[in-house]
Copies of this chain bind each other. A is one copy, B any other.
Amino acid sequence: MVGGGQLARMTHEAGIPLGIRFKLLSDTPQDSAAQVVSDVVIGDYRDLATLREFARGCDVITFDHEHVPTEHLRALEADGIPVRPGPDALVHAQDKGVMRAKLDALGAPCPRHRIVKDPQDVAAFAEEGDGFPVILKTVRGGYDGKGVWFVRSAADAAEPFKAGVPVLAEEKVDFVRELAANVVRSPHGQAVAYPVVESQQVDGVCDTVIAPAPDLSEELAGRAQELALRIADELGVVGHLAVELFETVDGRILVNELAMRPHNSGHWTQDGAVTSQFANHVRAVLDLPLGDPRPRAKWTVMANVLGGDYPDMYQAYLHCMARDPQLKIHMYGKDVKPGRKVGHVNTYGDDLADVLDRARHAAAYLRGTITE
């Protein structure tokens, strides 16, 4: 796996019972996954020679993030190393312009959008629809709210163009909530769909995920799962695909983003599903039969733990474990910095209000925003 973040850490954890020999390419020995994996190569994933050296002896290459240059992935494939997801699929998660063009071609429902060339063009894009505000995104390099701008006027729209990367304009969707449809697909075409979840963002960062999405009609849930399965198939995705969706005020679903790797909206599966997204990602990239994606509890809630003002979470960690013996804590081994994702918690049970309350309490207590 290329990339030493928490997704690699949790993928290794899931691979241990499968008997997988896991090899990691990590930027530093302190990275989240590098702390817990036996076979670690330290190096820069942007360097092709490093990637080639790393790939020697690997049966298959997969990723903790989407930042490996497409041309490097093609070079690895030319060397005969299976890359999963492959570059032709992954480019749709790397480049939002390519993604939108492909989804349009598939007839997948998207927010109104087009590539814009300057602030005047942004104003024109606004005029073509309901006017400002407009969302601007650099087509490459963004995540967790980075590389995304909420723009109220042409005068406001200069910043996104400074990076010299093409800029995608999208209508501001009038949504009631965000959903995610997560699926896993194998090279031989087997696929499984997890229950559709509700994802709640705070300041552009995923805060809470509720599985399954409350009060979602079976019809809309089925449509979202079918859409995600179709995208996975049409794009030739291998591994986990997260399709982030808007549920609109008028009852439609629109594709917001695609991610081709284990995803924050699927962390609940570690404790809430028969087979976790991490285990199924491993099974898919190794072309093993996939595991059952069904939920084990009526409700599962995931809450992200962000760093707060105090670097030492230990006392809070003790408190949360003592307060709720059913709490499932997942720490990433990262130094605590304000706003940094350093872990998550999962809770599950029959009573959604209770399950939500326990997850939110633990996340807030660990962050230090509450002390009781």
**Residues of A at under 8 Å CB distance from B?**
9-10, 12-13, 16-19, 21-22, 34-38, 40, 270, 274-275, 283, 288-292, 296, 317-318, 321-322, 325-326, 328-333, 343
Q: With both chains docked as a complex, state the minimum distance between the C-beta of A40 and any C-beta of chain B, in angstroms.
A: 7
- Residue pair A22, B36 in contact (C-beta under 8 Å): yes
- Residue pair A325, B16 in contact (C-beta under 8 Å): no
- Residue pair B17, A331 in contact (C-beta under 8 Å): yes
Complex Cα gap A131–B36 (Å): 55
Given A289-B318, A289-B325, CB of A330 within 8 Å of CB of B17:
yes
On chain B, the residues within 8 Å of A329 by CB distance are: 17-19
Given A321-B283, A321-B289, CB of A36 within 8 Å of CB of B35:
no
Can you name the residue of chain B whose Cβ is closest to the Cβ of A313?
B19
On chain B, the residues within 8 Å of A322 by CB distance are: 289
Q: With both chains docked as a complex, state the minimum distance between the C-beta of A362 and any C-beta of chain B, in angstroms.
A: 13
- Residue pair A288, B321 in contact (C-beta under 8 Å): yes
Secondary structure at the A interface, as helix, strand, loop or mixed, is loop
27 CB < 8 A contacts A-B: A9-B16, A10-B16, A12-B36, A13-B17, A16-B36, A17-B270, A17-B329, A19-B317, A21-B35, A22-B36, A34-B38, A37-B38, A38-B38, A38-B40, A274-B325, A274-B326, A275-B325, A283-B321, A288-B317, A288-B321, A289-B318, A289-B321, A290-B325, A291-B321, A291-B325, A292-B325, A292-B326
- Residue pair B291, A326 in contact (C-beta under 8 Å): yes
Complex Cα gap A34–B331 (Å): 22
On chain B, the residues within 8 Å of A296 by CB distance are: 296
Q: With both chains docked as a complex, state the minimum distance between the C-beta of A324 and any C-beta of chain B, in angstroms.
A: 9
On chain B, the residues within 8 Å of A274 by CB distance are: 325-326
On chain B, the residues within 8 Å of A318 by CB distance are: 288-289
Q: With both chains docked as a complex, state the minimum distance between the C-beta of A188 and any C-beta of chain B, in angstroms.
A: 11
- Tell me which of A35, A290, A317, A322 has the highest count of chain B C-beta atoms within 10 A of its own C-beta: A35
Complex Cα gap A18–B283 (Å): 24
Complex Cα gap A322–B287 (Å): 11
Given A38-B38, A321-B283, CB of A19 within 8 Å of CB of B288:
no
